[in-house]
Structure 1
Amino acid sequence: MASSDPEKLMSKADKLTKLSFTRWSADWKTATALFEQAAIGYRMRKDNEKAKEAFEKASKGQEMISSPWDAAKHMESAGALAKDLNRWSEVSDHYRRASELYMECGRSQPASDALAKGARALEDVQPDEAIRLYNDACGILEEDGKEQMAFDLYQAVTSIYIKLEKYIDAATSLLRWGVAADACSAVHSQCKAYLSAIIVYLYLHDFKQAQKCYDDCTQVSAFLSSDQSRCASKLLSAYREGDVEEIKRIAQSSIISHLDHAIIRLARKLPTGDLKGIEIDDADEQEALDEDNLV
Structure 2
Amino acid sequence: MLVCVSSSVGIVSKLLLLLAAIEYRTARDNVKAKVALEKASKGQEMLSSPWDAAKHMETCGNIAKELGNWGEVLDYYRRASELFNECGRVQPAADALAKGARALEESSPDEAIQLYTDACSLLEEDGREQMAFDLYRAGTSVYLKLERYEDAATFLLRWGLAADHCNAVNSQCKAYLSAIVVYLYAHDLKQAEKCYNDCSQIDAFLKSDQNRCASKLLSAYAEGDIEEIKRVAQSSSISNLDHMIIRIARKLPTGDMSALKGKEPVDEEPLDENDLT
Q: Normalising by the residue count of structure 1, what TM-score does the alignment of the two structures yield? A: 0.85
1:223 aligns with 2:205: yes
Q: Which structure would you say has the larger Rg?
A: 1
Whose RCO is larger (CA < 8 A, sep 6+)? Answer: 2
Counterpart residue identity of residue 49, structure 2 = S
Gaps of 5+ in 1: 1-23, 287-295
Instruction: Find the aligned partners of 1:277 and 1:180 in 2 and give their Cα distance.
Output: 36
Q: Name the counterpart of 2:161.
A: 179
Q: Name the counterpart of 1:11.
A: none
For residue 264 of structure 2, give the secondary structure of its aligned residue in structure 1.
helix
Structure 1 residue 221 displacement after superposition = 1.0
1:127 aligns with 2:105: no
Instruction: Find the aligned partners of 1:126 and 1:196 in 2 and give their Cα distance.
Output: 25
1:85 aligns with 2:73: no
Q: Is contact 2:222–2:263 with CA below 8 Å preserved after alignment?
A: no
1:32 aligns with 2:14: yes
For residue 278 of structure 1, give the secondary structure of its aligned residue in structure 2.
coil
Residue identity (%): 69
Q: Name the counterpart of 1:59.
A: 41
Structure 1 residue 206 displacement after superposition = 1.2
Deviation digits for residues 112-151 of structure 1 (CA, Å, limit 9, x no counterpart)? 0000001111111111111111111111111111010011
Q: Which of 152, 156, 168 is residue 170 of structure 1 equivalent to? A: 152
Instruction: Find the aligned partners of 1:30 and 1:242 in 2 and give their Cα distance.
Output: 74
Q: Name the counterpart of 1:212.
A: 194
Instruction: Find the aligned partners of 1:103 and 1:265 in 2 and give their Cα distance.
Output: 37
Q: Name the counterpart of 2:3.
A: none
Q: Name the counterpart of 1:238.
A: 220
Gaps of 5+ in 2: 1-5, 268-277
Instruction: Find the aligned partners of 2:9 and 2:199 in 1 and give their Cα distance.
Output: 60
Q: Normalising by the residue count of structure 2, what TM-score does the alignment of the two structures yield? A: 0.90
Deviation digits for residues 150-177 of structure 1 (CA, Å, limit 9, x no counterpart)? 1110000000000000000000000000
Deviation digits for residues 265-288 of structure 1 (CA, Å, limit 9, x no counterpart)? 2111111123343346539x69xx
Instruction: Find the aligned partners of 1:153 and 1:205 in 2 and give their Cα distance.
Output: 26
Q: Which of 277, 284, 293 is residue 259 of structure 2 equivalent to? A: 277
Spell out the pairing of 1:92-131 with structure 2 (5 A cutoff). Answer: 92-131=74-113
Q: Is contact 2:130–2:166 with CA below 8 Å preserved after alignment?
A: yes
Q: Name the counterpart of 2:275.
A: none
**Aligned Cα root-mean-square deviation (Å):** 1.8
Instruction: Find the aligned partners of 1:238 and 1:272 in 2 and give their Cα distance.
Output: 13
Instruction: Find the aligned partners of 1:101 and 1:278 in 2 and give their Cα distance.
Output: 54
- Range 101-110 or range 273-282, more displaced: 273-282
Spell out the pairing of 1:178-197 with structure 2 (5 A cutoff). Answer: 178-197=160-179
4+ runs deviating over 4 angstroms = 24-27
Q: Name the counterpart of 2:232.
A: 250
